[in-house]
């Protein structure tokens, strides 16, 4: 039998850090990752045959659980007709119509192959459409690895961009302005000073990349107003929240109409898919309808479209999100009770299908500063204590947890049983 350790040794020799996406390497929690051999429903099995209840769900796509028969069979049917055509295909049209029907702000949509591509393309479009160069993002929000997004703020209300990663040109980073999430005053000040230079403000309407942080009441509406007033486009990055926090995404949940939206994850059913779309008049600027160039050899791939359409059919069933919300409550209430029992201070954020556990005395976590001030060492001990009991949480204190419809009451009860012991371990270690 190949072991996880052997595979990780081989992987490290030939793949940077042994992984094809950084968080997978367990760097922040310590130890070595396991290598998944197969996945089904709420479970992953590693190459050694160990089973884990999975609260990562491939980082979001697996909202109906792994290996759902409808999605798998749709893919199997599509594969029989060929893997890629390089011509238009009917499934792309159905997909665009389905997205527009579910998300009314998206009148016209372009399919791409990842969330990163979606956000990169959306800001190019925003810049081309407005004729402005600056973009605004939020500290702690992640929009993929495009140069313009790998910029963080220093402390203080607003900071001109400093690249987070070597390789991001300073000149480009300078065009990215960064704001603290949930601080309306800082946004008002930034727009007062730079409003007429800003092409777009891009935000995760529920932040899922600094653990899970919800927007304060009225915050998104106020950002909408600011953008409208200053002629900047409002881009909701719904790569994580789309089709999850509500069928119509965070924009439906909070009742806000962005100018552009970006999607990924669920929309591909587990295949590499992203999309960006919005108001017709803006989207018509994209080539070949308009002059703003964006393209993709595999975009709108027939197999990926089949997976995504099967997925959308499943999440569109009545009651799906009510069920998912109930399950999310059940698991987060269970975590809260187990932590209290073990005397571990824990704050929890949740919304349908997503949650965040914060090891902190704070009653409520609403900012990046609060999220990063949490007790990472205790989280790391908790993570490993859960893993040892067969429950896989995201391997970083700064990632959201994902619940799927395959997390039945029974699966959740087993999770909470493990958490009772894991909180005790984490507290005493």
Catalytic residues: 142, 237, 265
Residue recorded with tokens 């790391």? 380
User: Nearest approach, Cβ of 119 to ligand PMP (angstroms)?
Assistant: 5
- Using CB under 6 A, which of 115, 180, 215, 395 touches ligand PMP? 115
Name which position in 119, 251, 301, 349 contacts ligand PMP (CB under 6 A). Answer: 119
- Sign of the torsion angle spanned by Cα atoms 425, 400, 416, 68: negative
**Beta carbon of residue 427, minimum distance to ligand PMP (angstroms, whole number):** 30
Work out how close the CB of 60 gets to ligand PMP at its nearest, in angstroms, rounded to a whole number.
Answer: 7
Among 389, 386, 404, smallest CA distance to 325 is for: 404
Q: Which of 112, 121, 172 is nearest to 143 (CA)?
A: 121
How many CA atoms lie within 13 Å of 315's alpha carbon, on the beta-carbon side?
Answer: 33
- Contact region with ligand PMP (CB under 6 A), list: 140-148, 173-181, 323-331, 417-425: 140-148
**Which C-beta is closer to ligand PMP: that of 26 or that of 423?**
26
For 397, counting Cβ atoms within 10 Å of its Cβ (0-12 exposed, 13-18 middle, 19+ buried), the class is: buried
Compute the CA torsion angle 187, 193, 198, 202 (nearest 10 deg): -10
CB of 405 closer than 8 Å to CB of 320 = yes
| Token reading at 305 | 């479209």
Other Cβ atoms closer than 10 A to 306: 25
Choosing from 105, 114, 378, 415, the residue that interacts with ligand PMP (CB under 6 A) is 114
The angle at the Cα of 415, spanning 411 to 416, to the nearest 5 degrees, equals: 120
Q: What proportions of the chain, in percent to the nearest 5, are helix, strand and coil?
A: 45, 20, 40
Considering the complex, what minimum distance in angstroms separates the CB of residue 400 from ligand PMP? 9
C-beta closer to ligand PMP: residue 114 or 121: 114
Nearest to 405 by CA among 63, 28, 104: 63
**211 interacts with ligand PMP by CB under 6 A:** no
Residue 251 makes contact with ligand PMP by CB under 6 A = no
Residues 287, 109, 267, CA angle at the centre, nearest 5°?
130
**Could you give the CA distance from residue 351 to residue 363 in angstroms, rounded to a whole number?**
17
Region of 26-34, 112-120, 129-137, 288-296 interacting with ligand PMP (CB under 6 A):
112-120
Under rule CB under 6 A, residue 237 binds ligand PMP:
yes
Question: Which of 37, 17, 39, 38 lies closest to 28, judged by CA?
Answer: 17
Choices 4-12, 84-92, 115-123, 286-294; region in contact with ligand PMP by CB under 6 A: 115-123
Binding-site string for ligand PMP from residue 320 to residue 359, where x marks contact by CB under 6 A and - marks none: ----------------------------------------
Residues facing residue 110 across a β-bridge? 276
State yes or no: residue 401 binds ligand PMP (CB under 6 A). no
264 touches ligand PMP (CB under 6 A): yes
Residue nearest to ligand PMP according to CB distances in the complex: 115
Interface segment toward ligand PMP; rule CB under 6 A; list 87-95, 189-197, 202-210, 247-255: 202-210
Choose, by CB under 6 A, the member of 105, 178, 209, 261 that binds ligand PMP.
209
User: Of 324, 291, 331, which Cα lies nearest the Cα of 129?
Assistant: 291
Which residues on adjacent β-strands are paired with residue 355? 350, 401
Using the minimum distance from each CB to ligand PMP, give the nearer residue, 115 or 356: 115
- Closest distance to ligand PMP from the beta carbon of 370 (Å): 20
Q: Which of 33, 65, 128, 144 binds ligand PMP (CB under 6 A)?
A: 144
Rounded to the nearest whole angstrom, what is the least distance from the CB of residue 59 to ligand PMP in the complex? 5
Q: Which of 54, 204, 366, 375 binds ligand PMP (CB under 6 A)?
A: 204
Q: Which stretch binds ligand PMP (CB under 6 A): 108-116, 182-190, 246-254, 309-317?
A: 108-116
Distance in angstroms (rounded) separating the CA atoms of residues 424 and 19: 32
Write out the binding residues for ligand PMP, residues 268-307 only, by CB under 6 A. 274
Q: Which is nearer to ligand PMP, 110 or 381 (CB)?
A: 110
Sheet containing strand 51-54, edge to edge, reads 36-40, 43-46, 51-54, 391-392
Q: Is the peptide bond before 288 cis (omega within 30 degrees of 0)?
A: yes
Q: Is 183 in the site for ligand PMP (CB under 6 A)?
A: no
CA 272 to chain centre: 14
Q: Which is nearer to ligand PMP, 180 or 339 (CB)?
A: 180
User: Nearer to ligand PMP by C-beta: 212 or 247?
Assistant: 212
Tell me which stretch binds ligand PMP (CB under 6 A): 9-17, 193-201, 203-211, 311-319. Answer: 203-211
Residues of this chain that interact with ligand PMP (CB under 6 A) are 59, 114-116, 119, 142-144, 204, 208-209, 237, 239-240, 264, 274
């Amino acid at each position: 039998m190949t072991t996880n350790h052997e595979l990780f040794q081989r992987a490290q020799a030939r793949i940077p850090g042994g992984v094809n996406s950084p968080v997978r390497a367990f760097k922040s929690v310590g130890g070595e990752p396991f290598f998944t051999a197969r996945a089904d429903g709420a479970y992953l099995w590693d190459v050694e045959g160990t089973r884990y209840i999975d609260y990562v769900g491939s980082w979001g796509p697996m909202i109906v659980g792994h290996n759902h028969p409808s999605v798998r069979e749709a893919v199997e049917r599509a594969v029989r007709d060929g893997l890629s055509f390089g011509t238009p295909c009917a499934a792309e049209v159905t997909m665009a119509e389905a997205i527009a029907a579910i998300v009314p702000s998206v009148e016209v949509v372009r399919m791409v192959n990842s969330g990163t591509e979606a956000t990169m393309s959306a800001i190019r479009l925003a810049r081309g459409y407005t004729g402005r160069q600056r973009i605004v993002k939020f500290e702690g929000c992640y929009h993929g690895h495009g140069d313009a997004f790998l910029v963080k703020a220093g402390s203080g209300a607003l900071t001109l961009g400093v690249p987070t990663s070597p390789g991001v040109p300073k000149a480009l980073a300078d065009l990215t302005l960064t704001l603290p999430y949930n601080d309306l005053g800082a946004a008002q000040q930034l727009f007062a000073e730079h409003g007429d230079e800003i092409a777009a403000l891009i935000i995760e309407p529920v932040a899922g990349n600094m653990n899970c942080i919800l927007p304060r009441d009225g915050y998104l509406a106020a950002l909408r107003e600011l953008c409208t007033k200053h002629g900047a486009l409002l881009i909701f990055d719904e790569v994580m929240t789309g089709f999850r926090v509500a069928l119509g995404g965070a924009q439906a949940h909070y009742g806000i109409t962005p100018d552009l939206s970006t999607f990924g994850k669920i929309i591909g059913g587990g295949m590499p898919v992203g999309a960006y779309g919005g108001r017709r008049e803006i989207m018509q600027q994209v080539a070949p309808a308009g002059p703003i160039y964006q393209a993709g050899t595999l975009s709108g791939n027939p197999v990926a479209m089949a997976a995504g359409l099967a997925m959308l059919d499943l999440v569109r069933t009545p009651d799906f999100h009510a069920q998912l919300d109930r399950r999310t409550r059940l698991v987060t209430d269970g975590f809260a009770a187990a932590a209290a029992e073990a005397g571990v201070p824990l704050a929890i954020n949740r919304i349908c299908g997503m949650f965040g556990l914060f090891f902190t005395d704070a009653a409520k976590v609403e900012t990046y500063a609060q999220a990063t001030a949490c007790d990472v060492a205790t989280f790391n001990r908790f993570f490993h204590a859960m893993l040892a009991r067969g429950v896989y949480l995201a391997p970083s204190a700064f990632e959201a947890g994902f619940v799927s419809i395959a997390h039945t009451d029974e699966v959740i009860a087993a999770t909470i049983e493990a958490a009772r012991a894991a909180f005790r371990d984490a507290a005493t270690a």
